[in-house]
Structure 1
Amino acid sequence: MEVDEMDKLDTRTLELQQSVGRLKNKMTEFIKREDEDCENMSNIPCEAISSTNETRSKETQLKSASDPLRIKKAVVVLTRLPDYKISALRPPTPRQFYSEEESLSCYDTDMDWEPGDDSSDSDYRLSGNKQKTTKSSKSNTKTRPAAQSSSRVKRNVLKPPVIISPPITKMRPNLPQEELKVDMMVLARKRFMKWQRGKIVDVITREDGRLKYKVSFEEKGKSLVSGHHIAYDNTPKLEQLYVGARVVVRSQDNKFWFQSAILAELPSRKNRLRFLVFLDDHTPLYVGLPFLRLVCRPLEDALDDIPDSSHKLFMKHYLRSWPYFPLYQYWVGESLKAELNEVQQKCKVQVIDCSLMQVIFQDNQQEWLHRGSIRLDHMTSFFEMHQENKDDSD
Structure 2
Amino acid sequence: MEEEETKASQSTGNECRSSCTSSDSTKLTKKAVVVLTKLPQSKINALRPPTPEQFYSEEDSLSSSDTDMMWEPGRDSSDSEFSLANQKTKEKIKKRVKITHASCSSNNNLAADPVIITSTQQLSQCNTANTKARPKLPEPEVKVDMTVIARKKPLRWERGKVVEVVTKEDGRVKYKVSFEQKGKSLVSRHHVALDSPPKLAQLYVGARVVVRCQVNKFRFWPGILAELPSRSNRLRFLVFIDDHTPVYVGLPLLHLVCKQLDNPLEDVPESAHRIFMEQYLKDWPYPHLTQYRVGQNLNAELNGAQKRCEVLVVDGSLVQVVFHENQFKEWIHRGSTRLEHMARFLELKSC
Where does structure 1 differ by over 4 angstroms across 4 or more consecutive aligned residues?
160-166
Question: Deviation digits for residues 310-340 of structure 1, max 9, x if unmatched?
Answer: 1111111111111111111001111101011
Q: Which residue of 2 aligns with 1:366?
A: 329
Which residue in 2 is equivalent to 1:105? 62
Q: In the alignment, is the contact (CA less than 8 A) between 1:373 and 1:379 conserved in 2?
A: yes
The one-character-per-residue Cα deviations of 1:122-162 (angstroms, maximum 9, x if unpaired) are: 99xxxxxxxxxxxxxxxxxxxxxxxx66731x45x76x756
Distance across 2 between alignment mates of 1:249 and 1:164: 22
TM-aligned CA deviation for residue 163 of structure 1: 4.9
**For the residues of structure 1 that align with 2:210 and 2:121, how far apart are their CA atoms?**
30
Q: State whether structure 2 residue 143 is matched by structure 1 residue 181.
A: yes
Q: Does structure 1 residue 314 correspond to structure 2 residue 276?
A: yes
TM-score normalised by L of structure 2: 0.68
Q: CA deviation at 1:105?
A: 2.4
Q: Deviations over 1:14-55 (max 9, x none)?
A: xxxxxxxxxxxxxxxxxxxxxxxxxxxxxxxxxxxxxxxxxx
Q: 3-state DSSP class of the match of 1:383? A: helix
Residue 207 (str. 1) matches residue 169 (str. 2): yes
| Aligned counterpart, 1:356 | 318
**Cα distance, 1:333–1:304 mapped onto 2, change above 3 Å:** same
Map of 1:247 onto structure 2: 209
Choose from 54, 65, 75 the match for 1:94: 54
Higher helix share: 1
For the 8 Å contact 2:156–2:219, the answer to whether it is kept is yes
Equivalent runs, 1:191-340 vs 2, <5 Å = 191-340=153-302
Partners of 2:137 and 2:347 in 1: CA distance:
39
Structure 2 partner of 1:11: none
Q: Percent identity?
A: 56
Amino acid across the alignment from 1:376 = L
Work out the number of aligned pairs and report it: 260
Q: 1:208 Cα deviation (Å)?
A: 2.2
Aligned residues: CA RMSD: 2.8
Amino acid at match of 1:386: K
Question: 1:119, CA displacement in angstroms?
Answer: 6.8
1:57-77: per-residue Cα shift (whole Å, max 9, x none)? xxxxxxxxxxxxxxxxxxxxx
CA distance in 2, matches of 1:220, 1:229: 18
Would the aligned equivalents of 2:132 and 2:204 in 1 still touch at CA under 8 Å? yes
1:375 is matched with 338
Letter in 2 for 1:105: L
Which letter does structure 2 place at the counterpart of 1:382? F
Kept after mapping to 2: 8 A contact 1:337/1:345: yes
Conservation of the 8 A alpha-carbon contact between 1:95 and 1:328: no
Question: Is 1:345 equivalent to 2:302 in the alignment?
Answer: no
Matches within 5 A, 1:14-163: 92-94=52-54, 104-105=61-62, 120-121=76-77, 151-152=111-112, 154=113, 161=118, 163=120
Structure 1 runs not aligned, ≥5 long:
1-89, 107-116, 124-147, 389-394
Stretches of structure 2 that go unaligned for 5 or more consecutive residues are: 1-49, 64-72, 80-107
Amino acid in the other structure paired with 1:327: L
Q: What TM-score comes out, normalization by structure 1 length?
A: 0.61
Amino acid across the alignment from 1:179: E
Distance 2:258 2:136 in 1: 14
